[in-house]
Amino acid sequence: KPRLYSGMQPSADSLQIGNYIGALLQWRDLQSSYDAYFSVVDLHALTVAQDPAELREKTRRTAAQYIAAGIEPSLSTLYVQSHVRAHAELAWILSTITGFGEAGRMTQFKDKSARYGADATSVGLFTYPVLMAADILLYQTDVVPVGDDQKQHVELTRDLAERFNSRFGETFVVPRPVIQKDTARIYDLQNPTSKMSKSAESDAGVLWMLDDPAKSAKKIMRAVTDNEGSVRFDRESKPGVSNLLTIYAALSGRQVPSIEDEYAGRGYGDFKKGLAEVVVNEFEPVRARALELLDDPAELDRILAQNAARADAVADATLGAVYDRVGLLRRV
């Protein structure tokens, strides 16, 4: 089977539904056709300040949400990035073939460093995409399903793989991003031209997977729309309604035109009520399952340990080949 790799940062107590629609739904659908690896990228989360106890908790919570959303730890390898030491080691090697200017062109870095200011921007935030490249390349990955915002990082990964291969001989599979066109970017409900994000300034526009469903329903009822009053997809002039239609379609498995037809001639209130129902129905069982898994952290830790052992074996083989290729002396 071809290899698949993807991951998420444990940067909040709950994932938001952009993570679910943009990534997890694809992961779940693809996992049976691929040899799939899904990591909770705790080393990446360290690029911004974290409370240590909270980070541990968020890491477990993220893993529990993967499983609750349908990632099968017996079918896919679901593990915590820091449990496999090869990630940090390969990142170092790759950093030596990454250009300073090349890394500086990553738009996510430019956005984040502009937001935090130079002194609050760590070197780790700058080299973040190199660590992501190491994640992907260690597993000889064929495909990387991600949302639109990670595309540039996967392109960098391809460049680094090709560069390494041509300099040191064929070592890495060159991966390609897989991006679901319609759902690659879910927007904030209050600010429907910026993407929904775990680190949004205001909570009102973010739907959390583990939130009380009644709270999510309320946020949907208050979502920003427009004053035209018709349920119609038009990203340019109706970003709010279009985003709600995207979410509705992704979670119900229906096409946008069929939803537009259903709500033709009815107001936004009805449409939002319908969407709230879809969202609550989807997330109620996911939330219940995640909370159940979190009730038994020892069992969850055991699953993660078993999966990390599988990942370790694959990653170590790649790292060994890389060390040989670049000329590091073997310890005998």
Q: Which residues bind ligand TYM (CB under 6 A)?
A: 5-9, 18-19, 22-23, 41, 44, 132, 135-136, 144, 146-147, 149-150, 153, 184-186, 195-197
Give the C-alpha separation, 327 to 316, whole Å: 17
DSSP code at position 181: G
Q: Which is nearer to ligand TYM, 26 or 225 (CB)?
A: 26
To the query of whether residue 198 is one of the catalytic residues in this protein, the response is: yes
Task: Write out the binding residues.
Answer: 9-11, 18-19, 135, 147-149, 186, 195-199
The distance of closest approach from Cβ of residue 197 to ligand TYM in the complex, given in angstroms and rounded to an integer, is: 6
The distance of closest approach from Cβ of residue 181 to ligand TYM in the complex, given in angstroms and rounded to an integer, is: 12
Q: Which is nearer to ligand TYM, 230 or 252 (CB)?
A: 252
Q: Which of 1, 58, 112, 151 is catalytic?
A: 112
Q: Are 33 and 223 in contact (CB under 8 A)?
A: no
Structure token pair of residue 27: 């992961």
Task: Write out the binding residues for ATP.
Answer: 9-11, 18-19, 147-149, 186, 195-199
Structure token pair of residue 264: 């033709």
Q: Which is nearer to ligand TYM, 200 or 263 (CB)?
A: 200
The distance of closest approach from Cβ of residue 77 to ligand TYM in the complex, given in angstroms and rounded to an integer, is: 13
The distance of closest approach from Cβ of residue 183 to ligand TYM in the complex, given in angstroms and rounded to an integer, is: 6
Give the C-alpha separation, 103 to 192, whole Å: 29
Q: Which is nearer to ligand TYM, 106 or 300 (CB)?
A: 106
To the query of whether residue 195 is one of the catalytic residues in this protein, the response is: yes
Give the C-alpha separation, 85 to 13, whole Å: 25
Give the C-alpha separation, 136 to 168, whole Å: 18
Q: Which of 1, 181, 198, 218 is catalytic?
A: 198
Q: Which of 58, 195, 219, 272 is catalytic?
A: 195
The distance of closest approach from Cβ of residue 143 to ligand TYM in the complex, given in angstroms and rounded to an integer, is: 10
Residue 7: exposed, middle, or buried by beta-carbon count in 10 A (0-12, 13-18, 19+)?
buried
Q: Which residue is nearest to ligand TYM (CB)?
A: 22
Q: Are 294 and 64 in contact (CB under 8 A)?
A: yes
**Which residue spans within the chain are E strands per DSSP?**
3-8, 35-40, 77-80, 143-145, 176-178
Q: Which is nearer to ligand TYM, 153 or 287 (CB)?
A: 153
- Strand, helix or coil at 197? coil
Give the C-alpha separation, 332 to 326, whole Å: 17
Give the C-alpha separation, 59 to 45, whole Å: 10
Catalytic residues: 112, 195, 198
